[in-house]
Amino acid sequence: MNSKPLLEIQNLRTSFRIQDHYFAAVDNVTLTVNENEVVAIVGESGCGKSALALSIMGLHPQERTKLEGNISFRGNNLLSLTVPELNKIRGKEIGMIFQDPLTALNPLMTCGKQIEESMTYHTNLSRSEKKAKAIELLKKVGITTPERTYK
């Protein structure tokens, strides 16, 4: 069993610039997530759940956001990584499902193509291997007609 935490956040503060001042949306969050552990972040609308998740993923606009504290994923401080370094991790090792269903999936692309998209960036699988993997993933999450859903 791995003794290091999968994700460790210490004293995270995410502040957004409005005109000349920064305002904290996430203030002093500390949490640890171990391998194979499930953690739910719950709270009322506007309390900072999405701001926390976007901070972890490094998806806030850098020119208007100030992040303080530490976000460590598999021992790497995500706050010290460049965008290209983060892109190597995002979608392969760490991901986010956005809460707005209208923007989470592209209605102009099939489910299969959207699942394959991450594999295109992070694997050397052939087109047929990506399709097989996408269908396998659909089965894994309980889709009863994965071949049909893939199309």
pTM of structure = 0.70
Q: Which residue range is the domain that position 141 belongs to?
A: 105-150
pLDDT given for residue 2 in this prediction: 54
The model's pLDDT over 24-68, given as tens digits with 9 standing for 90+, comes to 999 999 999 999 888 888 889 889 898 999 999 998 988 899 999
Burial bucket for residue 136 (CB in 10 Å: 0-12, 13-18, 19+): exposed
CA atoms within 13 A on the CB side of 8: 10
Q: How many domains does the chain have?
A: 2
Note whether residue 1 is domain-resident: no
Instruction: State whether 124 and 59 are in the same domain.
Output: no
What does the pLDDT average to over 93-107? 73
Q: Are residues 81 and 112 in the same domain?
A: no
Q: Could you tell me if 76 and 109 lie in one domain?
A: no
